[in-house]
Amino acid sequence: MQRLRSINPKTALVWGAGAFLGLSVVVGFIALPARTWSAQSGRKEAAQQEIVQLTDDIERLTAELELLQSDAEIERRAREDFGLVRPGEESYRVIDLNE
């Protein structure tokens, strides 16, 4: 039967410190990129939602721009939004006293 060799305490300390340092480096190389990836993933999702919203806005504004190319739409908006009337017309406003 062979006898087990005893380990020098200094050698064990050096090996332990080396193993801890190596493990710390490996965890650092894994944990930091994972945290960065997670943060970027959240920002990417927010940016994609903003792109969808902006695309919808562009479509809505493009349709509105096409409507505003006609004189009839311009007149309708002038009457509705600003209360404008043509010369010789009279404008009346009905006010509900219950509101």
Chain segment 36-83, per-residue pLDDT in tens:
887 888 889 899 999 999 999 999 999 999 999 999 999 999 998 998
1: confidence class by pLDDT, cuts 50, 70, 90: low
- Residue that is written with structure tokens 């990417």 in the block: 44
Cα–Cα distance between 33 and 31 in angstroms, integer?
6
Query: Which residue ranges make up each domain of the chain?
Result: 9-82
pTM of the model: 0.50
Dihedral (CA of 53, 55, 56, 57) sign: positive
